[in-house]
Amino acid sequence: MSPPILWSFRRCPYAMRARLAIHVAGIAIDHREILLRDKPALFVETSPKATVPVMVDQGRVIEESLDVMLWALDQNDPEGWLEMPGFGFDLIAENDGPFKTALDRYKYHTRHADADIEAERQKAGLFLHKLNRMLEGRPYLFGDAPRLADMAILPFLRQFANTDRAWFDDQPWPDLRDWLDRFLASPRFAAIMAKHPLWSDRP
């Protein structure tokens, strides 16, 4: 039986979190790396919305990154990522909603004629203040070990911090910075950021 197919783009935070869950679950996949500016026809045919990640498992197409994470962890969750309070899903929803909207308008402000960089950064900062408070005195959001919410949010925090790392480092978020830096220095992050050759369906 052929392994599940994961269509991915290395730097996309949605694809990163899907790969994190697949990695911790130890699932062997057919990794198909693509460029979002040059999408293979088969990828678009498989998922007309044409955004990564997309998982194909025995004919089932999973098109949302959080659903890919849950698909992987439902098969194998050796570190107990799913063992978190229901509030963790509220945090993921806030990350994927208001925070991501502010992040996009901050990072890609040239695409939004009405974007106010400082205002969008402040909006995003409200969520980051909340996370920093949660991290006070503990290494992860819900205690001593990472849970689904940690790994679903950290790729987006990386994207935010990298927009202006000097500004980010100057903010009163020591626990948040430590959380991010430990993630970036981890073997798991290194593993899921390994480079893959581009997949092509062209002859």
- Using a 10 angstrom Cβ sphere, with 0-12 exposed, 13-18 middle and 19 or more buried, the burial of residue 197 is exposed
Q: Which of 61, 91, 78, 88 is nearest to 22 (CA)?
A: 78
Q: So what's the pLDDT on residue 114?
A: 81
Question: Which residues are within 8 A (CB) of 67 and not within 5 positions of it... i.e. 6 or more apart?
Answer: none
Q: So what's the pLDDT on residue 111?
A: 80
Contact 40, 12 (CB under 8 A): no
Q: So what's the pLDDT on residue 57?
A: 97
Which tokens sit at 46? 């498989």
> Which residue type does 177 have?
R
Contact 157, 16 (CB under 8 A): no
**Residue tagged 């203040």 (tokens):** 129
**Residue tagged 């197919």 (tokens):** 5
Give the CA distances from residue 89 to residues 3, 119, 134, 182, in Å, rounded to whole numbers and listed in that order. Answer: 29, 26, 15, 22
Q: So what's the pLDDT on residue 108?
A: 85
The C-alpha atoms of residue 67 and residue 22 are separated, in whole angstroms, by 12
- Using a 10 angstrom Cβ sphere, with 0-12 exposed, 13-18 middle and 19 or more buried, the burial of residue 202 is exposed
Q: Which of 123, 119, 72 is nearest to 94 (CA)?
A: 123
Question: Which residues are within 8 A (CB) of 38 and not within 5 positions of it... i.e. 6 or more apart?
Answer: none
- Could you list the pLDDT tens digit for every one of the 203 residues in the chain? 899 999 999 999 999 999 999 999 999 999 999 999 999 999 999 999 999 999 999 999 999 999 999 999 999 999 999 999 999 999 999 999 999 999 999 998 768 778 799 999 999 999 999 999 999 999 999 999 999 999 999 999 999 999 999 999 999 999 999 999 999 999 999 999 999 999 988 76
The C-alpha atoms of residue 21 and residue 152 are separated, in whole angstroms, by 9
- Could you give all domains of the chain from N- to C-terminal order, each with its CATH number? 5-79 (3.40.30.10), 87-187 (1.20.1050.10)
